[in-house]
Structure 1
Amino acid sequence: MRGQQTEPLGETSEPLGDKDSTDDVELAVIGLGYVGLPLAREAAETGLRVVGLDRDPRVVEALNSGRSHVDDVSDDEVRRMLAARFRAHTDDACLARAQTVVICVPTPLSPDGGPDLDAVTSAVRSVAGRLRRGRLVVLESTTYPGTTDEVVRPLLEEISGLRAGTDFALAFSPERIDPGATTHGLRETPKVVGGVTPGCATRAATFYGKLVDTVVQAKGTREAEMAKLLENTYRHVNIALVNEMAMFCREIGVDLWDAIRCASTKPFGFQAFRPGAGVGGHCIPIDPNYLSFKVRSSLGYDFRFVGLAQEINRRMPEYVVRRAQDLLNAAGRPLQGSRVLLLGVTYKPDVADQRETPAVPVVRLLRARQAVVRFHDPHVPEWSVDGAPVTRVDDLMAAVREHDLTILLQDHSAYDLPALADAARRLFDTRGRIFRPGVEVL
């Protein structure tokens, strides 16, 4: 691999020994979203001088005024960052003073099913135009194996005229942010790093060692890139497994939820996954496609496990709506014209994040069947699907009494589930949280 050909960086690497007098910023983070802002906060709390770059002027203005747009970073934490001299910028001139630059921009799916690298290449061009000897550049954006060495490295070298591994350090470190998690934040979650040379990896590991308790060095950038895809593909495939089991277990008279409970008592060889209305967030519905793209474009055949998992998980909203229709039909009501209340429209509990939430296709399918759809979510004050607003109910308990069917899509901790079960005319629990007579469970 090209990344293993260059002489490794290290203390004896002369070009990296000189620190420019203008390098008074220790970290610049490009992309101040769900990944970049927690990283900037952790670095600022550690005592590093941090700047952030984001192309959205509304995000930059809010952060510089002490307001956060990310669930895991509070307004108080942003104000503490500002007190530690953090500033957000829309101008990439802020990169010129940074010793380390970490790229945390989105990588959505492109029309051909691979990652859309436009934001990554734009960020890399900004870095390259400001790159100097001795700097460390790290890509954290999720992508396919080979991106750092085949896309990022050539751009940096061509524009800057510097060589990775000799003049500057280049590495990949996959983000492992779990929005809403309270037991394993950025510092407690081991950080994987892979460099284009062993010296680059050491340099990146030294940097992240200031921010996290454990740093794990991968063999190279491709292995670090693959580690992220392996983690999410593992979850994607296993969620699809239990989702498909949920669909047939009911037909053969098996309580899958109880089977999962029993299997979970095994102290080895089993990890519990649970069915639901679909998968959401950026990672599980999106990231495995990057690996499929790489296999297909490089080898000419499909990664069949991912394709099958995607097919199953995408069917779940339709299955949920079909079950809802059956539940109403059993009570002598058609779905058409019925009032349906959705509880929890985010992609996971106790966050406001709606990326790829399965609640969206559920609403589309209910509307197509002419149901009257309303929603409640303690984290979402207003919501629209395909440009059409979904009415939010304010009095939750009154709403569950008035609606013909209530569907629990996300089990936020703010919900008093037993009270909701008592009040609802009909309750369909897609999260497996309410096991009592009269409640339909997925």
Structure 2
Amino acid sequence: MTAGRERPSDTRFGGLSTPCSELVTGRRASCVWGLGYIGWSTVEALRAEDIRVLGYDVSTERVAALRHSEGPGLKVTDGREQALTDDIAVHFVCVPTERQAEPYSDALLDVFTSICRATAARPRSGTPPLVIIESTLTPGTVEQLLLPVAVDAGLVLGRDLLLALAPRRDWFLAEGYGLRDLDRVYGGVNDASATAAYEVLSLMCNTLHRARGHLEAELVKCVENSYRHLEITLANQLTLGYPHVDMVEVLRLAGTKWNIGTYHPSFGTGGYCIPLSSRYLLRGAAHPEELSLLSQAVETDTRMRSLVAESVADGPVVILGLAYKGGIKVATLSPTIRIAEELTRLGVPFSVHDPMYTDEEIEALLGAGTAAPDLATAIRGAATVLIVPDHPEFRGEPFLGLLTEERKSPLLILDNHGVLADHPSWPERVTYRRAGNPLWLDTPTANAPAEKDLV
């Protein structure tokens, strides 16, 4: 248990212990469904509070990789029956709600249906189990999909089962932006569910904000990420509208105003949250035609990958990075995937290297022959190098040495996040451009100067 924190009191629910008190006294355990970054961080937060945890994932490979973490109070499994016993007081659902760049609810529905049926099959006694959904939901999911499942199973919410939403908004790589540190929004389908969720979440989070109900709680995560999606898309539209202007510099200066964030043009967004946020809102809206800004954001975001691929169509191309973000091994909706698809369509030879992925993993995601087993040979023979995520390794060797070698043929470096923007000088035949620099999507001439000499 975290030092200095008091546990919630052993209050009573209908004369019985609450799900929280069942956890903190060790009488019953918690179950985390889905052991990706979100799910595993929930596991670790529960373990820090001495809560017994069962981690479940459908991937036998992922479970096998996590077996070394087992010990007192933690077990991981791919056996669903173990996650559905009456020993579980709280279920945390952290399964993916995206597939092929679109909202996807089948995995969530499958897990929730299993929990409801197992709960209905047991005699009604003791504390009702609490389900906390940490995944991002398409607005309308609870009303249209989950509540009917509970009713069909013969369950009365608030009496037989408690259901709450608490989507995650923490960031794994930055100090001070973790599960405990950031404000968190939660909401229940009724007062009993919200109260029970507050007690449990208070074990892991310092600041909680209760939504009026599940409809509001369902929308918050999508709305806050759509704000960022629109702002990032505007940055990309500005660089397309003013191609001869250093839009990185313009946006940096605009960001000095106290109420404006700093954004920069890019190859497009990636990951589980921002690229899907507008799609979730469009999918769940009663009047999607009124959300024209979101529709345009989706279109521009998707188009950026094609523009990048078309700008380097002379090939060959080396793509540095498969992950969507530096320092994290997640390729979900990575710009690299769509750029690779476009290069394949255009018939441009390319290869991919990422220090966090094996060649076999890269080829499993992008196809045979896409990995760059000999990085030095690939870069020396390339016409273009695309740096996609801001992996810290790209600032060191062997990458920097290979990119700054004297060359007989020209090389264009397009840097999505400006990983090497501060490098002082480039060889004569190497053109460096950060996304958003002047003419960054134009093909350079054979002896083009470095981008810093153009402005």
TM-score interval, smaller chain: 0.7 to 0.9
The match for 1:364 is 341
Q: How does 1:310-329 map to 2 (within 5 A)?
A: 310-325=298-313
Matched, 1:269 2:259: yes
Of 108, 123, 131, which aligns to 1:120?
Answer: 108
The CA distance in 1 between the partners of 2:338 and 2:76, in whole Å, is: 39
Matched, 1:349 2:326: yes
The CA distance in 1 between the partners of 2:144 and 2:305, in whole Å, is: 38
The match for 1:283 is 273
Of 231, 235, 248, which aligns to 1:238?
Answer: 231
Moved more, 122-131 or 236-245: 122-131
Percentage identity across paired residues of the two chains = 27
Matched, 1:375 2:352: yes
Matched, 1:387 2:367: yes
1:377 and 1:109, CA in 2 relative to 1: closer, same or farther beyond 3 A?
closer
The match for 1:26 is 29
The CA distance in 1 between the partners of 2:188 and 2:404, in whole Å, is: 56
The CA distance in 2 between the partners of 1:107 and 1:198, in whole Å, is: 26
Matched, 1:105 2:91: no
TM-score normalised to the size of structure 1? 0.82
The CA distance in 1 between the partners of 2:354 and 2:301, in whole Å, is: 23
Q: Shift of the alpha carbon at 1:181?
A: 3.8
The CA distance in 1 between the partners of 2:95 and 2:41, in whole Å, is: 13
1:85 and 1:393, CA in 2 relative to 1: closer, same or farther beyond 3 A?
closer
The CA distance in 1 between the partners of 2:100 and 2:304, in whole Å, is: 23
1:18 and 1:401, CA in 2 relative to 1: closer, same or farther beyond 3 A?
closer
Q: Deviations over 1:36-67 (max 9, x none)?
A: 12111210122100112222233233322x1x
Q: Shift of the alpha carbon at 1:127?
A: 0.8
Q: How does 1:62-81 map to 2 (within 5 A)?
A: 62-64=65-67, 66=68, 79=69, 81=70
The CA distance in 1 between the partners of 2:318 and 2:288, in whole Å, is: 46
1:374 counterpart SS class: strand
1:110 and 1:393, CA in 2 relative to 1: closer, same or farther beyond 3 A?
closer
Q: Which amino acid aligns with 1:151?
A: L
The match for 2:53 is 50
Higher RCO, Cα 8 Å, sep 6+: 1
The match for 1:259 is 250
Q: Which amino acid aligns with 2:343?
A: L
Q: Shift of the alpha carbon at 1:89?
A: 3.9
1:392 counterpart SS class: coil
The CA distance in 1 between the partners of 2:218 and 2:47, in whole Å, is: 26
Q: Is the 8 A contact 2:18 2:196 kept in 1?
A: no
2:117 counterpart SS class: helix
* C-alpha RMSD of the superposition: 2.8
The match for 1:332 is none
1:412 and 1:134, CA in 2 relative to 1: closer, same or farther beyond 3 A?
same
TM-score normalised to the size of structure 2? 0.80
1:378 counterpart SS class: coil
Q: Is the 8 A contact 2:323 2:334 kept in 1?
A: yes
Q: Is the 8 A contact 1:63 1:88 kept in 2?
A: no
Q: Which amino acid aligns with 1:375?
A: V
Q: Shift of the alpha carbon at 1:302?
A: 4.9
Q: Which amino acid aligns with 2:328?
A: V
Q: Shift of the alpha carbon at 1:186?
A: 1.8
The match for 1:92 is 81
2:139 counterpart SS class: coil
Where in structure 1 are there 5+ consecutive unaligned residues? 1-9, 67-78, 326-334
The CA distance in 1 between the partners of 2:222 and 2:43, in whole Å, is: 24
Moved more, 237-246 or 419-428: 419-428
Q: Shift of the alpha carbon at 1:168?
A: 3.4
Matched, 1:189 2:175: no
Q: Is the 8 A contact 2:95 2:135 kept in 1?
A: yes
Q: Which amino acid aligns with 2:387?
A: L
